[in-house]
Amino acid sequence: MSNYEDKIGEIIGLNIGEINQLEKDFNVKLPLAYKQFLLSSGRKTGFLMNGYYIEYPSLMDNKEDAIHELNFDDRKKDDEKPEIKDNYFFFAQWQGYNFFFFDCSREEDDPVVFLFDTEKITKYKDSFTEFLRDEGLKPLLESIS
């Protein structure tokens, strides 16, 4: 992404201590690709991910918000609802009803991204890098061309 710095705008990363604290707070080992993202732009993503709750500290609420949305619809029985596991790390949300996460138990460097849309959990992208490219960089470049 360094090739696009002039188009992305101001980005601010987290430090290693803050990333370690995130892992401790959520009791997960974050994937390498995500840690690299946090180091470069975890606090401020410029124009890269407009509309997403992906920056620290707002990302801290994503899992709680996903659980709230899961339980909001009381027409479904518990066994009809998708399971949100402890090792799921919800790194982003969009519009309050699309939640993006990866499963930290899979121990992938560039993890598969899943989507929880309050109805079901589905595989969304093959990797976190693909998610950033398709949801962040491509729309940004298209908007300025």
Distance CA 126, CA 78 (A): 29
Which helix (DSSP H) or strand (DSSP E) does residue 35 occupy?
Answer: helix 32-41
**Cα(98)–Cα(113) distance, rounded to whole angstroms?**
12
- Residue 2 banded pLDDT, cuts 50, 70, 90: low
Decide which of 124 and 72 is more confident.
124
CA atoms within 13 A on the CB side of 116: 28
**Residues 96-130 pLDDT 10s:** 899 999 999 999 999 999 999 988 999 999 999 99
